[in-house]
Amino acid sequence: MKTLTIAVDGHSSCGKSTLAKAIAKELNLIYIDTGAMYRGATLLAVENNLIQGENIDNNKLMSLLDKTSMEFKNIEGENHLFMNGRNIEREIRTIEISEKVSYVSKVATVRNRLVEWQRAMGKSMNVILDGRDIGTVVFPNADIKFFVTASVEIRAKRRFDELKAKGDDVTLEVVMANIQKRDYIDQNREMSPLKQADDAIVIDNSFNTRSEQLEIAINIIKSKCPHLLH
């Protein structure tokens, strides 16, 4: 039986994960948070002192990844990433990890390894994945591709509010600088840069509520793949 694959790409802090999670819940799909996986690899590098400035000790990181497992678990309706059996969901959402994840995610060997894991997860299930290169690299033949975006100012304010709600001591200026820096790195890295797939459907959610954005996406999915959504 054919499986359904939905790719959700877009800029940093544009609400990709929020949309993908909501679609997964609405249509009973498996949600794979690829960004969390790169954050997990970054946490692994940070905890083992493998990042010096913008430089990563690639060989040691790959050696650690060879002995590492990542899996997603649903806890009280929320998706949590577990690394080697440990819940790292909160640890990977800090500003420190946000500052360094782009350095790790542009390492070719790391990307290849995580893409292998992501493809394996998506082979036998109806899945939705979000990231930077899902529709262009990981699943170029995805049934539906969305490209989500919003203005830098709006993305920074949303991310700032999210971090403050968690009790993090950050300023809006720091968050905005982080997002602009990540955009530049993501769009200009040599391997799998962030770009819109030719057949992706753009959703600019600058002025949409979460429910409005979800309604737009669900209507598109149902119109394109009614035979896969019995």
pLDDT tens digit sequence for 86-119 = 999 999 999 999 999 999 998 999 999 999 999 8
Question: Which residue's entry shows tokens 């498996």?
Answer: 30
Instruction: Catalogue the E-assigned strands of the chain.
Output: 5-10, 30-33, 51-52, 55-56, 70-75, 78-83, 86-87, 127-131, 144-149, 201-204
| CA 222-224-227 angle, 5° bins | 70
State the Cα–Cα distance between residues 216 and 220, nearest whole angstrom.
6
pLDDT digits (tens, 9 = 90+) for 110-157: 999 999 999 888 887 889 999 888 999 999 999 999 999 999 999 999
For residue 181, with 0-12 CB atoms within 10 Å meaning exposed, 13-18 middle and 19 or more buried, which class applies? middle
* pLDDT at site 57: 97
**Where does 5-222 sit in CATH, by number?**
3.40.50.300
Q: Which residue type occupies 119? A: R
Instruction: Catalogue the E-assigned strands of 18-140.
Output: 30-33, 51-52, 55-56, 70-75, 78-83, 86-87, 127-131
As a whole number, mean pLDDT of residues 25-31 equals 89
- Spans of all domains in the chain: 5-222
CB 3 within 8 A of CB 191: no
Which range (32-46, 66-80, 191-205) has the least confidence?
A: 66-80
Instruction: Catalogue the E-assigned strands of 111-196.
Output: 127-131, 144-149
Q: What is the model's pTM?
A: 0.77
State the Cα–Cα distance between residues 165 and 34, nearest whole angstrom.
23
